């Protein structure tokens, strides 16, 4: 346990928490004060020194005040080709007056909602989840009724920046009814050049035979520090797909957990991290198979340049009753620099005996034979490298079903590869 935690860093944040969800807040606060922030040698955070990073980078641990967000800024920030609904946030606070009105859905500020805070993302699982639950001051509750197909994607557009405070604590509650379909696009925009800390929790409750896509783009400034906990319950015949694209930031930790709670449920977790400079991204994933006849697919890919660093820790649990489970996990990484580092640890824990499960990881450089092959056919070395890296990342991009978002991400990746080569 860190000795620098409790009173020193986040005391004001805890004391200034809004007066609602009292029981959930108090429970989380007690857990947080008991455990503290992760110590340097704590197993789950041993490759990501987030506590030391916070102490070094921030000098104000109060809740960040709301930023001024104008309509023109929102229009400029929505990527080209997007046609859908936009929900706007300023330092974690929902700006309902600047957001789309989505007919048929129940959308409200988290502070005035009946969200079941902490029922899915358990505060005891992670110190930062506990800290968020005890202190969150903004966010959103979205409820999709039964048998509702939301035709247009929903863009969750967050504007983040240090303004008299440097801690941003958004809380999202998403509840999707039985036989409903919806796609969310989660994107953040940095305002200003100061360091700030985002501590985010997203709870997603998927009903029977629901189909949910949750695509996330992390492309904030090199001063951004972020920890996110995204957890979802997936019921029978339901499908949940997550795609996470990480391109920049100072230190980023992503905790993603899927709870497969019904037969014929399907959980998909895909990610690409394309890093340069000194960016550090840590992806921790967890899939819990509790019921027979469920499937999970996981594929994360990383490209590392300069002094960037990546961490991947993927866990698959197959409980004793979860016979006929089908689980796949793969992590592949390419290092472009001798100074880049990746730590990868895929894990399988199986208590059932009638399952199909596999996992693996690779770390290496570009395929020299493939590079030679392309150059021998008249393609320059710079372009050849870019083509190989894009093909490597493209397998994840194919998992994005929303075309405008896919095109936006592809353009960002092409620009990044072009700037490198």
Per-residue pLDDT tens digits for 189-238: 999 999 999 999 999 999 999 999 999 999 999 999 999 999 999 999 99
Residue 421 confidence (pLDDT): 44
Query: Which residues make Cβ contacts (< 8 Å) with residue 30, sequence separation at least 6?
Result: none
pLDDT tens column, 357-412: 998 999 988 777 776 667 777 777 777 787 888 889 999 999 999 999 999 999 99
Residue 223 confidence (pLDDT): 95
From the CB of residue 283, how many other CB atoms can be counted at a distance below 10 Å?
23
pLDDT tens column, 70-93: 999 999 999 999 999 999 999 999
Residue 142 confidence (pLDDT): 98
Q: Judge whether residue 311 has pLDDT over 90.
A: yes
Query: Which residues make Cβ contacts (< 8 Å) with residue 96, sequence separation at least 6?
Result: 107, 108, 109
| 3-state SS record for the chain | CCCCCCCCCCHHHHHCCCCCCHHHHHHHHHHHHHHCCCCCCCHHHCCCCHHHHHHHHCCCCCECCCCCCCHHHHHHHCCCCCCCEEEEEECCEECHHHCCCCCCCEEEEHHHCCCCCCCCCCHHHCHHHHHHHHHCCEEEEEEECCCCECCCCEEEEEEECCCCCCEECEEEEEEECCCCEEEEEEEEEECCCCCEEEEEEEEEEECCCCEEEEEEEEECCCCEEEEEEEEEEECCCCEEEEEEEEEECCEEEEEEEEEECCCCCEEEEEEEEEECCCCEEEEEEEEEECCCCCEEEEEEEEEECCCCEEEEEEEEEECCCCCCCEEEEEEEEEECCCCCEEEEEEEEEECCCCCEEEEEEEEECCCHHHHHHHHHCCCCHHHHHHHHHHHHHHHHHCCCCCHHHHHHHHHHHHHHHHHHC
Q: Judge whether residue 6 has pLDDT over 80.
A: no
- Taking the C-alpha atoms of residue 276 and residue 309, their distance in angstroms, rounded to an integer, is 9
The structure tokens listed for 21 are: 């969800």
Q: Judge whether residue 420 has pLDDT over 70.
A: no
What would the mean pLDDT of 26-55 be, rounded to a whole number? Answer: 93
Q: Judge whether residue 273 has pLDDT over 70.
A: yes
Position with higher pLDDT, 384 vs 259: 259
Are residues 203 and 120 in contact, defined by beta-carbon separation less than 8 angstroms? Answer: yes
Choose among 16, 8, 11, 256: nearest CA to 136.
Answer: 16
Residue 385 confidence (pLDDT): 80
Phi, psi torsion values for 338, nearest 5 degrees: -70, -20
pLDDT tens column, 161-188: 998 889 999 999 999 999 999 999 999 9
Q: Judge whether residue 305 has pLDDT over 70.
A: yes
Q: Which residue has the tokens 């008299």?
A: 164
The structure tokens listed for 187 are: 């994107």
- Taking the C-alpha atoms of residue 161 and residue 91, their distance in angstroms, rounded to an integer, is 7
Choose among 159, 218, 158, 148: nearest CA to 183.
Answer: 148
Choose among 265, 254, 293, 122: nearest CA to 206.
Answer: 265
The structure tokens listed for 195 are: 């360091």
Choose among 10, 44, 5, 2: nearest CA to 168.
Answer: 10
Residue 2 confidence (pLDDT): 43
Residue 7 confidence (pLDDT): 44
Q: Judge whether residue 258 has pLDDT over 60.
A: yes
Residue 419 confidence (pLDDT): 55
Residue 366 confidence (pLDDT): 78
Residue 4 confidence (pLDDT): 43
- Taking the C-alpha atoms of residue 59 and residue 61, their distance in angstroms, rounded to an integer, is 7
Residue 212 confidence (pLDDT): 98
- Taking the C-alpha atoms of residue 135 and residue 65, their distance in angstroms, rounded to an integer, is 14
What would the mean pLDDT of 310-314 be, rounded to a whole number? Answer: 97
Residue 209 confidence (pLDDT): 98
Q: What torsion do the CA atoms of 155, 144, 327, 218 make, to the nearest 10 degrees?
A: 20
Q: Which residue has the tokens 């340097």?
A: 40
Residue 417 confidence (pLDDT): 85
Choose among 293, 247, 302: nearest CA to 270.
Answer: 302
Average confidence score pLDDT of the chain: 93
Residue 1 confidence (pLDDT): 40
pTM score, whole prediction:
0.95
Angle between helices 381-397 and 403-420 (to 10 degrees): 150
The structure tokens listed for 165 are: 């405070």
Angle between helices 22-35 and 127-135 (to 10 degrees): 140
Residue 368 confidence (pLDDT): 74
pLDDT tens column, 116-154: 999 999 999 999 999 999 999 999 999 999 999 999 999
């Amino acid at each position: 346990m860190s000795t620098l935690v409790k009173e020193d860093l986040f005391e004001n944040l805890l004391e200034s928490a809004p007066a609602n969800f009292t029981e959930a807040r108090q429970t989380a606060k007690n857990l947080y004060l008991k455990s503290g922030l992760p110590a340097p040698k704590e197993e789950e955070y041993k490759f990501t020194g987030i506590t030391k990073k916070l102490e070094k980078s921030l000098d104000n641990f109060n809740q960040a005040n709301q930023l001024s967000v104008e309509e023109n800024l929102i229009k400029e920030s929505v990527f080209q080709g997007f046609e859908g609904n936009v929900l706007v946030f300023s330092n974690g606070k929902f700006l309902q007056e600047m957001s789309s009105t989505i007919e048929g859905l129940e959308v409200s500020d988290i502070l005035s909602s009946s969200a079941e805070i902490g029922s899915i993302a358990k505060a005891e699982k992670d110190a930062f989840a506990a800290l968020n639950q005890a202190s969150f001051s903004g966010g959103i509750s979205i409820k999709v009724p039964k048998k509702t197909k939301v035709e247009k994607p929903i863009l969750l557009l967050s504007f983040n920046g240090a303004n008299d405070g440097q801690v941003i604590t958004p809380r999202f509650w998403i509840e999707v009814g039985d036989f409903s379909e919806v796609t969310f696009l989660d994107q953040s925009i940095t305002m200003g050049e100061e360091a700030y800390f985002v501590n985010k929790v997203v709870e997603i409750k998927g009903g029977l035979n629901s189909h949910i896509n949750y695509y996330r783009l992390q492309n904030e400034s090199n001063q951004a520090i972020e920890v996110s906990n995204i957890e979802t319950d997936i019921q029978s015949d339901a499908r949940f797909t997550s795609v996470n694209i990480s391109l920049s930031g100072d230190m980023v930790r992503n905790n993603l957990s899927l709870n497969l709670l019904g037969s014929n449920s399907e959980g998909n977790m895909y990610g690409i991290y394309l890093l340069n400079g000194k960016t550090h991204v840590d992806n921790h994933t967890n899939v819990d198979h509790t019921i027979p006849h469920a499937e999970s697919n996981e594929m994360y890919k990383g490209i590392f340049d300069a002094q960037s660093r990546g961490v991947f820790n993927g866990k698959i649990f197959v409980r004793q009753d979860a016979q006929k489970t089908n689980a796949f996990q793969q992590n592949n990484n390419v290092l472009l620099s001798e100074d880049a580092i990746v730590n990868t640890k895929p894990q399988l824990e199986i208590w059932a005996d009638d399952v199909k499960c596999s996992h693996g990881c690779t770390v290496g450089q570009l395929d020299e034979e493939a590079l030679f092959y392309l150059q021998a056919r008249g393609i320059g070395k710079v372009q050849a490298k870019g083509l190989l890296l894009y093909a490597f990342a493209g397998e994840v991009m194919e998992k994005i079903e929303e075309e405008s978002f896919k095109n936006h991400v592809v353009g960002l990746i092409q620009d990044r590869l072009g700037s490198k080569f």
